[in-house]
């Protein structure tokens, strides 16, 4: 059974048509000359841009589900496509920009398990589709980061929690004539809404993954705190600490992936190496000054530089342990 949901006039017919275009494209079938379809993102999920007589759209095809998740989403009616659509409608009701939602498609089997789903929105041309260069410190724009801080403060005052508030999920449009920035939220399936403004602690947790550049994080914290009416210095210190903790927690996982890509290290072998590194670090901390302590520290640094340093993007671990540049 296939379900098409849209609040727009003729929405169901439009969803069916767009799905046919995407399926024809993925199967390698020829499309009519007035229809263009191409992949704009390929990962766990796939995003297609479809330009056709009906308009210009983005179709997000969610990846295949494991058995238990397929049953849970199907039987509880909580699939990602449905959540994306409902969250987009909620953002619109709060006058918070997101690409115009068109609807969602879900396919269920005879037992009601969710086996396939799509979320469809109108395509919106962005000035930049990701803030990653600013997050990494490769680019720096004081007007953009200040505007972003004000936008996020307003988002949190409205009680909106985007649970994957990362640089790739806040594209923006810059109006060159006015210098005004309009930020959009995308990737909407992991969100929730509070009837109250977010507390300080919840706000910090929501911001912690956004920027790993210390300079950009300082300016973001200042702009955000001023917009919320909070004391700037203390909030900046708290946000920097929260960012450090977030990236420290992620570092072992990111470093394992890096070692697999860079050196072909298996997960099992990497975990053995990492376990040895942790034991050296623990022992080094409790030893008095000695040649053994110096040797352990040198071995720590060697492991850090080979496996951890490339993903220690804030140098949080290096600063904590005293590793040299």
Q: Measured between alpha carbons, how far is 192 from 248 in angstroms, rounded to an integer?
A: 26
165 touches 237 (CB < 8 A): no
107 touches 115 (CB < 8 A): yes
pLDDT of the chain along its 325 residues, tens only? 898 899 888 889 999 999 999 999 999 999 999 999 999 999 889 999 999 999 999 999 998 888 898 998 889 989 999 999 999 999 999 999 999 999 999 999 989 999 999 999 999 999 999 999 999 999 999 999 999 999 999 999 999 999 999 999 999 999 999 999 999 999 999 999 999 999 999 999 999 999 999 999 999 999 999 999 999 999 999 999 999 999 999 999 999 999 999 999 999 999 999 999 999 999 999 999 999 999 999 999 999 999 999 999 999 999 999 999 8
Coil, strand or helix at 309: helix
Q: Measured between alpha carbons, how far is 188 from 177 in angstroms, rounded to an integer?
A: 30
Contacts of 112 (CB under 8 A, 6+ apart): 74, 75
What's the pTM value of the predicted model, to 2 decimals?
A: 0.90
Q: Measured between alpha carbons, how far is 253 from 322 in angstroms, rounded to an integer?
A: 21
Terminal-to-terminal C-alpha distance of the chain: 59
Contacts of 245 (CB under 8 A, 6+ apart): 208, 316
Q: Which residues of 185-198 are buried (b: 16+ CB within 10 A; e: fewer)?
A: bbbbbebeeeeeeb
Vertex 316, ends 312 and 319: CA angle to 5°?
115
């Amino acid at each position: 059974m296939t379900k098409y949901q849209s609040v727009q006039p003729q929405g169901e017919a439009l969803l069916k048509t767009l799905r046919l275009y995407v399926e024809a494209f993925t199967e390698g079938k020829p499309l009519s000359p007035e229809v263009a379809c191409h992949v704009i993102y390929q990962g766990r999920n796939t995003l297609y841009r479809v330009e056709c007589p009906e308009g210009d759209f983005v179709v997000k095809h969610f990846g295949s589900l494991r058995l238990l998740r397929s049953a849970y989403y199907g039987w509880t009616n909580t699939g990602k496509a449905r959540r994306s659509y409902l969250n987009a409608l909620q953002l619109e009701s709060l006058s918070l920009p997101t690409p115009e939602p068109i609807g969602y498609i879900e396919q269920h089997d005879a037992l009601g398990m969710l086996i396939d789903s799509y979320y469809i929105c109108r395509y919106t041309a962005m000035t930049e589709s990701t803030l990653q260069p600013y997050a990494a410190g490769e680019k720096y724009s004081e007007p953009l980061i200040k505007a972003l801080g004000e936008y996020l403060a307003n988002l949190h005052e409205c009680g909106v929690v985007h649970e994957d508030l990362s640089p790739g999920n806040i594209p923006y449009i810059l109006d060159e004539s006015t210098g005004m920035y309009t930020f959009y939220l995308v990737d909407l399936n992991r969100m929730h809404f509070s009837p109250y403004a977010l507390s300080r602690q919840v706000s910090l947790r929501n911001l912690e993954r956004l920027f790993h550049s210390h300079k950009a994080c300082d300016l973001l914290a200042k702009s955000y705190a001023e917009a919320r009416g909070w004391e700037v210095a203390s909030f900046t210190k708290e946000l920097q600490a929260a960012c450090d903790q977030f990236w420290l927690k992620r570092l072992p996982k990111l470093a394992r992936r890096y070692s697999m890509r860079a050196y072909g290290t298996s997960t099992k072998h990497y975990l053995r190496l990492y376990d040895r590194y942790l034991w050296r670090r623990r022992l080094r901390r409790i030893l008095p000054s000695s040649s053994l302590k110096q040797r352990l520290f040198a071995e720590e640094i060697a492991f850090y530089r080979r496996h951890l340093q490339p993903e220690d993007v804030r140098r949080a671990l290096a600063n904590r342990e005293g590793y040299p540049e």
